Amino acid sequence: MNVRVRFAPSPTGHLHVGSMRVALFNWLFARHHGGTFLLRVEDTDQARSTQEYTDSILKALEWVGMTSDEPVVLQTNNIARHHALIDQLLREGKAYKCYCSPEDIERRLLAGQFGKKYDKYCRTCAEQSPDKPYVVRFKIPETSFRITFHDLVLGDITIDSDQLDDFIIARSDGMPIYNFVVVADDIAMNVTHVIRGQDHISNTPKQLLLYQALGHAVPAFAHLPMILGKSGKLLSKRDAATAVFDYKDMGVLPEALLNYLARLSWAHGNQEIFTVQELIADFSLEHVGKSSAIFDVEKLWWINGEHIKRSTPQYLHEVIVRDIDPTLDTTLSSCSKEQILQTVALYQPRAHTLVMLRDELYTLLRQPVYDSMVLQTITPDVMECLKEIVKRLSALEWSAQVLEAAIKQATKDYHLSLGPVAHALRIAITGKPAGAGVFAMLVILGQQESIRRIGQLF
Ligand code: GLU
């Protein structure tokens, strides 16, 4: 079967990480099966949809490399077809115009004339009121029956048609409603698998009836577990940043975010770290869990750190400039590209984010700022030893081994231990008492600059 899936965001906000996980599972499923991944922007809620959000969602998907295999569909461009299909259902007697105002319904509801469902008043009365506004309701067949479907994640699901009321498919302003347009568009786009969040599961029986009414075979469905915050409620800003771009700004690699989101409700043995190619190769809906997943930002930092460790310095430098700091190279214009890459290589084993890595680049490669309190931690005897070290370094061949031997020798000659001398050198080089190995930093800075920085202390 030629798999065709779609991700159908509503542009009423920036892309949420939970929605990104839905997009990811669609994309992985399509890629794994050599199928087609489609994007449909569900912008029919004109009051809440904006172009800014549409652009932002498309950019976020582009950032992680999940772009539509066919031109992006804007749902508002399909409105004429939606209207034609509503008319078709009305003509065929599968839907009817309902002139009851919300007040009429409320009044009859309060009078206890019917349960919580619409009483089908207009379904049976044939009168037409051309001047009155109306909604269009879908006719649920009279005799009750069971609606069953096999969910690829949750298994068999059955509901009784009695649980449904004659639901509205077009509002009184003529705009067709979500459950209808989603079916109309999925049919038009030849979608074979609808993969979406469990929050839509109550819509599925209604949509199945609409497929039938429109005379179309139903696609397969897979409803994905919801993502919760640590509080146990749906992930919200109270728990963690929720917009995809917040994670980009915090220095997360796109492939690390995908890896983290994939692992939120899918497993492949005990493996935690996946390249995108591995995710594609290993992904299957059978291994998606049924229960909600908890968003744990600490695990995301860990996964990001692992991806940073495994990346080349060239790539990390590229992404830092692209995503975090476009002016990095200008700010560090006094350094060579090699120095920048060597510094990335020095810090990448312990950076959890690209922002941390960028900060370390600045710490080593920009002129240090000395804090008098920090400088006071260097004792006079250590300061004397530093003067001697400067003298000896001037005559050295510049390699980590030779430097280490010379500095250790000077330390010995001054009857000091290496700890306080390394501490003082680190302050001289970066202005900070903590950081990477002193010898590695000196090698990257080069002879002249290292000697100049140490010399600044006296
Ligand atoms: N626009 C809907 C949403 O954002 C998509 C629903 C669906 O995938 O059917 O939740």
pLDDT higher at 135 or 44? 135
Domain 82-170, architecture per CATH: Alpha-Beta Complex (3.90)
Mean pLDDT of 113-142: 81
Pocket test for ligand 1, best of 21, 196, 199 (most atoms within 8 A of CB): 196
The CATH code of domain 372-455 reads 1.10.10.350
Proportion of the chain above pLDDT 70, given as a percent: 98
Q: 80-126, pLDDT tens digit by residue?
A: 999 999 999 999 999 999 998 888 887 877 777 666 778 788 888 76
Which residue has 């969910």 as its token pair?
A: 151
**What is the pLDDT at residue 115?**
67
**What is the pLDDT at residue 127?**
67
pLDDT level of residue 148 (50, 70, 90 thresholds): very high
Say which range, 23-32, 119-128, 129-138, 428-437, has the weakest mean pLDDT: 119-128
Mean pLDDT of 422-450: 95
Q: 209-264, pLDDT tens digit by residue?
A: 999 999 999 999 999 999 999 888 999 888 888 999 999 999 999 999 999 999 99
Mean pLDDT of 441-451: 96
Q: What are phi and psi of 41, to 5 degrees?
A: -90, 115
Please say if the pLDDT value at position 151 is more than 90: yes
Interval between CA 5 and ligand 1 midpoint (Å): 13
Mean pLDDT of 171-188: 95
Cα(255)–Cα(274) distance, rounded to whole angstroms?
Answer: 9
Interval between CA 19 and ligand 1 midpoint (Å): 9
pLDDT level of residue 4 (50, 70, 90 thresholds): very high
3-state SS, the chain, equals CCCEEEECCCCCCCCEHHHHHHHHHHHHHHHHCCCEEEEEECCCCCCCCCHHHHHHHHHHHHHCCCCCCCCCEEHHHHHHHHHHHHHHHHHCCCEEEECCCHHHHHHHHHCCCCCCCCCCHHHHCCCCCCCCCCEEEECCCCCCCEEEEEECCCEEEEEEHHHCCCCEEECCCCCECHHHHHHHHHHHCCCCEEEEEHHHHHHHHHHHHHHHHCCCCCCEEEEECCEECCCCCECCCCCCCCEHHHHHHCCCCHHHHHHHHHHHHECCCCCCCCCHHHHHHHCCHHHECCCCEECCHHHHHHHHHHHHHHCCHHHHHHHHHHHHCCCHHHHCCCCCHHHHHHHHHHHCCCCCCHHHHHHHHHHHHCCCCCCHHHHCCCCHHHHHHHHHHHHHHHCCCCCHHHHHHHHHHHHHHCCCCHHHHHHHHHHHHHCCCCCCCHHHHHHHHCHHHHHHHHHCCC
Closest C-alpha to 39, from 18, 21, 57: 57
Interval between CA 124 and ligand 1 midpoint (Å): 33
Contacts of 207 (CB under 8 A, 6+ apart): 179, 182, 183
How confident is the prediction for the chain on average, in pLDDT? Answer: 94
Q: Are 374 and 446 in contact (CB under 8 A)?
A: no
Residue 202 burial (C-beta neighbours within 10 Å; 0-12, 13-18, 19+): exposed
Q: Are 260 and 303 in contact (CB under 8 A)?
A: yes
CA-angle at 428, arms to 426 and 429, nearest 5°: 65
**What is the pLDDT at residue 110?**
75
Ligand 1 shell residues, CB under 6 Å: 8-10, 42, 182, 196, 200
**What is the pLDDT at residue 179?**
96
Query: What residue spans define the domains of the chain?
Result: 1-68+225-310, 82-170, 372-455
Q: Please state the pTM of the whole predicted model.
A: 0.93
Q: Ligand 1, closest atom to CA 9?
A: 4
**What is the pLDDT at residue 118?**
84
Residue 414 in tokens: 């001054």
Pocket test for ligand 1, best of 200, 203, 211, 223 (most atoms within 8 A of CB): 200
**What is the pLDDT at residue 263?**
96
Q: 20-77, pLDDT tens digit by residue?
A: 999 999 999 999 999 999 999 999 888 899 999 999 999 999 999 999 999 999 999 9
Pocket test for ligand 1, best of 38, 40, 151, 182 (most atoms within 8 A of CB): 182
Closest C-alpha to 204, from 182, 188, 229: 182
* Ligand 1, atom 5, residue with closest C-alpha: 8
Interval between CA 10 and ligand 1 midpoint (Å): 7
Please say if the pLDDT value at position 435 is more than 80: yes
* Ligand 1, atom 4, residue with closest C-alpha: 9
Please say if the pLDDT value at position 388 is more than 70: yes
Cα(105)–Cα(150) distance, rounded to whole angstroms?
Answer: 35
Interval between CA 191 and ligand 1 midpoint (Å): 14
Please state which of the four CATH numbers 3.40.50.620, 3.30.70.3270, 1.10.3720.10, 3.40.50.1820 is assigned to the domain occupying 1-68+225-310: 3.40.50.620
